[in-house]
Chain A
Amino acid sequence: MDIIIDFANKIFKPLIDLGAPPMMFIILAFLAMLMRVKPSKAIEGGLKLAIALTGMGAIIGILTGSFAPALQDFVKSTGIHLSITDVGWAPLATITWGSPFTLYFLLLLVILNIVLLIFKKTNTLDVDIFNVWHLAIVGLIVLYYSNNNLLLATLLVLLIGVMKFINADLMKPTFNDMLKMPSTNPTTTTHMNFMLNPLIMVFDKIIDKFFPFIDKYDFDATTLNKKIGFWGSKFAIGVYLGAFVGLLGQQSVKEIFTLAFTGGMCLELFSVIGTWFIGAVEPLSKGITDFMSKRLKGRTFNIGIDWPFVAARAEMWAVANILAPIMLIIALVLPGNKILPLGGIIAIGLTPALLIVTRGRVLRMVIIGTFMLPVFLWSGTIIAPFVTKTAKSVGAFPKGISDSVLITHSTLEGPVEKFLAVTIGKLGSEFRIQNLFFVIVFLAVYILLFAWYVKQMKRRNEGYKNTVKNKSSEKQIV
């Protein structure tokens, strides 16, 4: 491993010294060309990543520049220690893609996918290259806490990678059922979102056993969504959370308006810059997909794409809307939380998994979601120093901002995996029996819970199979 790192350092050192945006421009363009993408397209992609990194830095600067002092006053006047700025997912995705290690993890997962397909351990071809960042950030956290122990990071990424492919296969019948897809439709997803399914399922089973009557009180999600209208949109949330910070931080009226409008503007702009960044990864995604599908010709498989094909279900939005104010209240009182929810307050890192496990029962989604939110807030809090430092190292954090300013994402997918990464990373930096014990126990619980979930899902999928059979026999009788 050391030799690889040394070798990588020799090649990358002059590149790294250029700073992240130019370095990633060169690497990404080069890699895309290697995947036989046309040079002009490859360069376009590289440039878009560079301007996205620069752009995210600029907006993070504006947001923290106005929010950080107000949050300090907020802490002083309320005594509530919420000092971390929640920038949402787009800046974190950009920052993660700004690290060359992400490309290493990408390569690893592409190879893993091909191997699993060849040995028929999965039936999913993952073409959602962009979302590799969710697993890459887990690897980066291990690296950060373990003084760059690449072996540990690699092992954890591979372990979760395998589980994600298994999960994509397991969820397929539920997707067919909930989105009325014919069985010929190959859509599934390996998204990190759904690695929370096992934990959600524990709560779902508890409700099954002790509180099944709550399903009687379920309500229609579309009606609620229609009523909420624009109040749930990004800029509106930015505006009233800005005003909220300003009011509780006892700022002047003028300053409250400035905070409100700055919040709204930044949340909109993070999305705009996010789209540049999608364009940046696109040529690489196309190249890798072409490469994989050519090598797997003649096989039919499911295709893993990004999760929003489930966004067609109204329940996930109704629940996201209901959970937003609940999350704000939890954030104010939860011990150990330091995040004031802003960019991540519409919890799309949580509600798709709730939807799939409960199969769209809104009340269950809200109740279980409420129990999940603290996990996200704690996880977002502990990774904040890592996120901030990584943002700085990839040039997506403005200079001249106080060292005490931290950024994070409040509802980042895979909160449990973040704790796992920190625990394993700490073992890598300091090999003590106590740390080893934590890692073993954590891993054992994590894997056993997943195994239990696999069993439950297989049982569910048997049920689906039987209903299909019954339906077809009914037809025969008729």
Chain B
Amino acid sequence: MIKILTACGAGINSSHQIKTAIEEEMRNRGYDVAVDAVVIKDITEEMLKEYDIFAPIAKPDFGFEIYIPIVEAGPILYRIPSMSEPVFDEMEQIIKSINK
């Protein structure tokens, strides 16, 4: 199981759109993933350690290093398949390389 973290302003709208899209697409591609959606300001260094991939809308500056792979998931929000495709492809590559 690959654990992915996504985030947005209230942990309600954008992040849940990303969560639903990633879970659906990755499962269709045959990967076992679980995505959590939170408020971006509540993310701590410890919290990120619990996850395999971080998928924010755009890369944030937390004031600490992020040691897990980051996939910028913003294009998923455009709701246009040709634009979200590269995000999913990048994520698939990383999942393959994690090899869990």
Contact = CB atoms under 8 A, between A and B. Distances in A.
Do A and B form a real pair? Answer: yes
A257 B11 CA distance: 27
B79 A308 contact: no
A306 B76 CA distance: 12
B78 A305 contact: yes
Interface in B28-62: 37, 39-42, 44, 56-62
Contacts of B41: 225, 232-233, 311, 317, 320
A79 B44 CA distance: 41
A278 B17 contact: yes
Contact of B12 (A90, A286, A289): A90
Interface residues of A, number: 44
B78 A127 contact: yes
B88 to A, nearest CB: 16
A222 B78 contact: no
Given A234-B39, A306-B8, A314 B16 contact: no
A81 B1 CA distance: 53
B8 to A, nearest CB: 4
Nearest to B79: A289
Contacts of B56: 312
Nearest to B37: A275
Contacts of A379: none
A73 interface: no
A436 interface: no
A309 interface: yes
Contacts, number: 106
B66 to A, nearest CB: 12
B12 A312 contact: no
Most buried by A among B11, B41, B59: B41
Contacts of B11: 271, 275
Given A186-B78, A303-B78, A308 B44 contact: no
| Main secondary structure on A side of the interface with B | helix
Contacts of B78: 127, 186, 303, 305
A230 B42 contact: yes
Contact of B62 (A222, A275, A278): A222
Interface string A248-292: 000000000000000000000001001100110010011001100
Contacts of A127: 77-79
A157 B79 CA distance: 25
B80 A312 contact: no
Contacts of A311: 7-9, 40-41, 57, 60
A187 interface: yes
B63 A278 contact: no
A91 B48 CA distance: 30
A274 to B, nearest CB: 4
B63 A271 contact: no
A53 to B, nearest CB: 16
B74 interface: yes
B17 A275 contact: no
A334 interface: no
20 contacts: A90-B12, A127-B79, A186-B78, A222-B63, A225-B63, A226-B62, A226-B63, A232-B42, A274-B10, A279-B16, A279-B20, A286-B79, A289-B80, A305-B74, A306-B9, A308-B10, A308-B57, A311-B41, A312-B56, A312-B60
Interface of A: 89-90, 127, 130-131, 179, 181, 186-187, 220, 222-223, 225-226, 229-230, 232-234, 271, 274-275, 278-279, 282, 285-286, 289-290, 293, 303, 305-309, 311-314, 317, 320, 348, 352
